[in-house]
Amino acid sequence: MPSNLKGPGLFLAQFASDEAPFNSLEAIADWAAALGYKGLQIPSGDMRLFDLDKAATSQTYCDEVTGVLADREMEITELSTHIQGQLLAVHPAYDKQFDGFAPVTVHANPKARQDWAHDQLLKAAKASQNLGLTTSVSFSGSLAFPYLYPWPQRPAGLIEEAFDELAKRWLPVMNAYDEVGVDIAFELHPGEDLFDGATFEMLLDRLNGHRRCTINYDPSHFLLQQLDYLAFIDIYHERITAFHVKDAEFRPDGRQGVYSGYQPWIQRAGRFRSLGDGQVDFGAIFSKLAQYGYDSWAVLEWECCLKDAATGAAEGAPFIADHIIKVTEKAFDDFADSGLSKADTRALLGL
């Protein structure tokens, strides 16, 4: 019988700041608990909330972190390594922009930045183990995405070479996570080389179906690509180990469509919205996940071009709670079971 999904959880990346109550784990946990959240997804590189170096080496520190949340009847859902995963593979066109996410000591040195990201990912694997977690969430990074739309036509073998290199960089990381029993759930996101099912499979094939290569399911990115996000669950449910609950809307017109004409978020045909304000059919999504026995967390990732963050967070917890399905332990028509034996059943068939 399928298991029940957990939640509501909250991804803290969009809320962490230098101002209270968002500048320490204790304070932000108090704030989130008061809104009804049961779990927190922690950005592993944000020192205001979490010390990754210490978590990778100190079980005592990890016990203290889990204790902070347990005191508030909360859990850690996953550690996020989105930034570190991104920096594992950066196309040179984005070097200066992504240097801003890395320590100053590796700026203007792509190889050093990549090595730093690799080390961070390994530390997050050990930290996840120390925290008793079985899944982390991340980005794949991007070597091929600048060549998404082939004009001029892509040179033969360019995409294959990019994904070969991506797999080369991720394989030792995957193996390290396998050693500690932790999955890496990629958020399939435009701008990353993994942005849909086809690209996920391209890496998965090169990793020989690595069991730790999984998916952080986020329907908002699929809606904006006009991908069938429900059929995606049918195809990939065995690989879905994390879930970002994020809404979006797509309203094309005579001036713009999927690419949104370089417009700012508020003027795009495709926009991220707060839960319930967009077009994602979450009732169908939660039903699909329940059907396939998804038993991990539903985590709000707040991103909205219109609504205030605090309002989105306050509305998000009850929205998720209302969509979680407590899976039935019996069939609705069990009362009508005739109780026939196997011999009786065969007789009904004339056998």
Q: What is the pLDDT along the chain (351 residues), one digit of tens a residue?
A: 456 899 999 999 999 999 999 999 999 999 999 999 999 999 999 999 999 999 999 999 999 999 999 999 999 999 999 999 999 999 999 999 999 999 999 999 999 999 999 999 999 999 999 999 999 999 999 999 999 999 999 999 999 999 999 999 999 999 999 999 999 999 999 999 999 999 999 999 999 999 999 999 999 999 999 999 999 999 999 999 999 999 999 999 999 999 999 999 999 999 999 999 999 999 999 999 999 999 999 999 999 999 999 999 999 999 999 999 988 777 776 666 778 899 988 998 999
Provide the CATH topology of domain 6-348.
TIM Barrel (3.20.20)
- CB-based contacts of 262-265 (< 8 A; 24+ apart in sequence): 265/305
Please give the biggest Cα pair distance in the chain: 80
| Cα–Cα distance for residue pair 118/176, rounded to 1 Å | 11
Whole-number pLDDT of residue 3: 64
Residue 136 one-letter amino acid: S
Whole-number pLDDT of residue 1: 43
| Cα–Cα distance for residue pair 9/290, rounded to 1 Å | 17
Specify the 3-state DSSP secondary structure of 135.
strand
Say if pTM beats, i.e. exceeds, 0.85: yes
Rg (CA), the chain: 22
* Residues 162, 220, 83, 268, Cα dihedral to 10°: 90
Whole-number pLDDT of residue 328: 78
Indicate the domain borders of the chain: 6-348
| Cα–Cα distance for residue pair 291/222, rounded to 1 Å | 20
